[in-house]
Structure 1
Amino acid sequence: MSATKRIVVFGGNGFLGSRICRAAVARNWDVTSVSRSGRPNWLSITSSPTPPGWSHSVTWERGDIFRPAQWTSLLYGADYVVHSLGILLEADYKGVISGRESPISGLARAFGPAPAGAANPLERVRRLEEESEKSETKKEEGGGGGGAPQLTYEMMNRDSTILLAKEAAQAGVGAFGFVSAAAGAPVLPSRYLSTKREAEEVVAREFPGMRGVFFRPPFMYDKSRGVTMGVAAMATAGSVFDGLTGGRVGGFLGSMVMKPLKVDVVADAVVEALADESVKGPVEVPQLEQLAEQAWRKTML
């Protein structure tokens, strides 16, 4: 009898991350979720405030991705680690609400050039680790841990991924899954996608001994989030229109002309890909569907 697999999902209390946890529990894996808030707010990611039965099989841990000392111990003995964190816009939401920043300035920053000092991801990750150690030391000495930094695409989509991959490789994790994206969208800055692609490139290059799997899902939907159903319908229509025009609008509309996928399909594909040692590198939309079907067939046996 094979040993129980262990998976640690960063962002496991989110829309996709929680479904990845569910799919892993269905395989009787040992599942740990790491996020800043710990347990999910179920009403924000499902249609009910009541925790589903499978959630009681998950260990819900609190941890800041930029403070490795809080979570590195959880990686040892894990077979798989998944990064399912990210931001869509960089605007300082709390600043906007409090009046410290206008929505226009937030959007201007998001659509502006990459911030200075972001050219070398590995060097930036090293500095993040040093800053984290200083912050933890200050906190232990009673000086407080300092405020949370303003999150950028470079930090969340790229640097946090590289940081987690680095720690996972050092812990001897067999496979690292990163939830990337299939394409950008007209309402998102180009840096949203470019930072994800850069994360894929750096992880593959710098940690070759660990199987890197980079999932590139399109827009994801679920009936528990009503707004996603309307967007999914528009994306489906865009996909049909793009096909009729020979792909002429795809470059401009990005993910809005790609066939959307149900979030459960993507989650099942993620877990199936991690379990299949032949899967490595970018996983595009058609392969996501194939992997999800492969996972479904196994449940029928």
Structure 2
Amino acid sequence: MSAFLCPSVPPASVLRNAIRHSRSVTSRSPPRHPYPSRISINNSYAVPNISEDSSSVPIDVVADVKTERIVVLGGTGFVGSAICKAAASKGIEVVSLSRWSGKPSYADPWVDQVTWKAGDVFYAPWDEILAGATAVVSTLGGFGNEEQMKQINGEANIVAVGAAKDHGVPKFVLISVHDYNLPSFLLSSGYFTGKRKAESEVLSKYPASGVVLRPALIYGKRKIDGFEIPLDLIGRPLERFLLAAENFTRPLNSIPGSDLLLSPPVSVDDVALAAINAVFYDNFFGVFTIEQIREAAAKLRS
């Protein structure tokens, strides 16, 4: 807080009234905490001809900090639900839009903190869904035939980016995929071409605030129809082994497709926290690799 010196002293009655009033200030310094805070400050004033003791007059300063409101596309999926959970734990208002289902069937405590909506991004009521949103996080993606992969990985995300931009949403976060050092003829499949087109759209529409996360294999506890599949039983040990062996395997990185075996898996919690980091920090934008995703997650944990 800065102190200012006035060239002249106002009448005593005016100064008393000014001291008794609260002042509101707005903070935009990242990370933006989701809750407003009240601060009591004691100030000393040397004013002539004031009989009452004003040496310790409390001034309430209310910091009205903007509440984040994010829209998660594919929020009931493996990665999407982890992002919704992480966002809710940080006090972020969350709206989820999923094509096939609304609210998940399981009853974890965080589920009730999310607004669940079912719908297709190609026909979504964007005016309603994006109202007041400060960021969109897209986990849209999937496999199928060439046309299906181009549509869900590429076109669906492109539509969402356009809608977010048209509605004035300040940030877009895309969960994409590592290229695994594959040769170009393999990267020409609908899955990768769709993802890369979506990336280009994000970085074009949001050059100073768009975020692309490129994880490799994502592991964690995945819930399907009430059953929990512990993918972390394989993913976590494999991640630790590959990270420990990086110095030995680095010379192999130049071999096309080597990353299919050598790229470390990423925890779904790390991907989720990296996405939330992107929501909180205005200087977090661009394309983020596996290592950078892990670093961003660690930053939010600290």
Look up the match of 1:47.
Answer: none
Query: By how many angstroms is 1:40 displaced?
Result: 5.2
Q: Does 1:173 align with 2:169?
A: yes
Q: Which has the higher contact order (CA 8 A, sep 6+)?
A: 1
Q: 1:226 to 1:31 in 2, by over 3 A?
A: same
Is the contact made by 2:180 and 2:263 (CA closer than 8 Å) also made in structure 1?
no
- Answer 1 or 2: which has greater helix percent: 1
Is the contact made by 1:236 and 1:257 (CA closer than 8 Å) also made in structure 2?
no
What amino acid maps onto 1:264 in structure 2? D
Query: By how many angstroms is 1:41 displaced?
Result: 4.7
Query: By how many angstroms is 1:238 displaced?
Result: 6.1
What amino acid maps onto 2:202 in structure 1? V
Query: By how many angstroms is 1:285 displaced?
Result: 1.3
**Equivalent in 194, 214, 220 of residue 218 of structure 2:** 220
Is the contact made by 1:157 and 1:196 (CA closer than 8 Å) also made in structure 2?
yes
Q: 1:242 to 1:86 in 2, by over 3 A?
A: farther
Is the contact made by 2:135 and 2:173 (CA closer than 8 Å) also made in structure 1?
yes
Counterpart Cα distance in 1 of 2:107 and 2:256: 41
Query: By how many angstroms is 1:62 displaced?
Result: 0.6
Normalised TM-score (structure 2): 0.67
Is the contact made by 2:138 and 2:157 (CA closer than 8 Å) also made in structure 1?
yes
Look up the match of 2:202.
Answer: 203
Query: By how many angstroms is 1:29 displaced?
Result: 1.0
Q: Does 1:90 align with 2:88?
A: no
Look up the match of 2:151.
Answer: 155
Counterpart Cα distance in 2 of 1:236 and 1:256: 14
Which consecutive segments of 4 or more residues in structure 1 shift more than 6 A? none
Counterpart Cα distance in 2 of 1:185 and 1:229: 26
**Structure 2: gaps (5+ residues):** 1-35, 37-64, 222-227
Query: By how many angstroms is 1:25 displaced?
Result: 0.5
**Equivalent in 68, 71, 80 of residue 5 of structure 1:** 68
Look up the match of 2:30.
Answer: none
- Answer 1 or 2: which has greater strand percent: 2
Is the contact made by 1:39 and 1:60 (CA closer than 8 Å) also made in structure 2?
yes
Is the contact made by 1:165 and 1:176 (CA closer than 8 Å) also made in structure 2?
yes
Counterpart Cα distance in 2 of 1:189 and 1:90: 15
Is the contact made by 1:236 and 1:258 (CA closer than 8 Å) also made in structure 2?
no
What amino acid maps onto 1:292 in structure 2? A
Counterpart Cα distance in 1 of 2:247 and 2:181: 14
Query: By how many angstroms is 1:293 displaced?
Result: 0.9
Counterpart Cα distance in 2 of 1:254 and 1:236: 15
Query: By how many angstroms is 1:38 displaced?
Result: 3.0
Q: 1:155 to 1:255 in 2, by over 3 A?
A: same
Is the contact made by 1:9 and 1:82 (CA closer than 8 Å) also made in structure 2?
yes
Look up the match of 1:194.
Answer: 193
**Structure 1: gaps (5+ residues):** 43-49, 92-109, 111-150
Look up the match of 2:102.
Answer: 39
Counterpart Cα distance in 2 of 1:156 and 1:72: 22
Counterpart Cα distance in 1 of 2:236 and 2:151: 28
Q: 1:228 to 1:249 in 2, by over 3 A?
A: farther
Q: Whose Rg is larger? A: 2
Look up the match of 2:300.
Answer: 295
Look up the match of 1:79.
Answer: 134
The alignment covers a number of residue pairs equal to: 228
Is the contact made by 1:235 and 1:255 (CA closer than 8 Å) also made in structure 2?
no
Counterpart Cα distance in 1 of 2:229 and 2:66: 36
Secondary structure of the structure 1 residue equivalent to 2:87: helix
Look up the match of 1:265.
Answer: 270
Counterpart Cα distance in 2 of 1:228 and 1:71: 36
Query: By how many angstroms is 1:291 displaced?
Result: 1.1
Normalised TM-score (structure 1): 0.68
